[in-house]
Amino acid sequence: MYTERDESGKDVEFFSSNGKGAIQGNGNLSRGSGQNARLVRFINTVGMAFHDIILVDAPAFHLVLQGVENAEFYHITVHGANVGGTDGVDLTCINNCYLHHIEVTNRDECISVKSPSQNALMEEIYCNHAGGMSIGSVDASSKS
């Protein structure tokens, strides 16, 4: 039975107090199993900070930010697998998002900014071995 739930948040701070906190996704154990797992995901969150965290080996995307507003993300390190489908950061920013001092090592998108994002500022982003950064998405109707 499906129960509707509120997936929004307000005034959230997620961090490691000593800057050494890491989340291990064990993607090597579950990759290819049909799961589309995200290591960390925030949905419809207003007024948030996410910082001083290391994300390691997600089965799929590492940090997914859907519909965030008035948010800051900084001092984040992502160590992804040497395969596709392991985006570092997927962002849909409703308004006023600031991403800085982020380092991503993977073989997929480093940062992917999705439509209809607006007022997103990114500085000091380091993409190691990544496919780069992308802005916008290709919808299914434009693929041939």
DSSP state of 114: P
The answer to whether residue 8 scores a pLDDT higher than 90 is no
Structure tokens at 43: 């949905």
139 part of the active site: no
Q: Which of 11, 57, 108, 139 is catalytic?
A: 108
Mean pLDDT of the chain, nearest integer = 86
Which pLDDT score, from 0 to 100, does residue 142 have?
45
For residues 37 and 11, which has the higher predicted lDDT (pLDDT)?
A: 11
DSSP state of 116: T
Distances (CA, A) of 108 to 43, 46, 126: 22, 28, 13
Residue 119 phi, psi dihedral angles, 5° rounding: 55, 50
Return d(Cα 93, Cα 55) in angstroms, integer: 21
Query: How much is the pTM?
Result: 0.85
The residue type of 127 is C
Return d(Cα 82, Cα 130) in angstroms, integer: 9
Range from 25-29, 40-44, 136-140 carrying the lowest mean pLDDT: 136-140
- Please count the other Cβ atoms lying within 10 Å of the Cβ belonging to residue 132: 10
Structure tokens at 67: 């519909």
What does the domain layout of the chain look like in residue ranges? Answer: 13-135
Which pLDDT score, from 0 to 100, does residue 4 have?
57
User: pLDDT digit string (tens) for 75-134?
Assistant: 999 998 888 778 899 999 999 999 999 999 988 889 999 989 999 999 999 999 877 888
Over residues 55-82, mean pLDDT? 93
The answer to whether residue 29 scores a pLDDT higher than 50 is yes
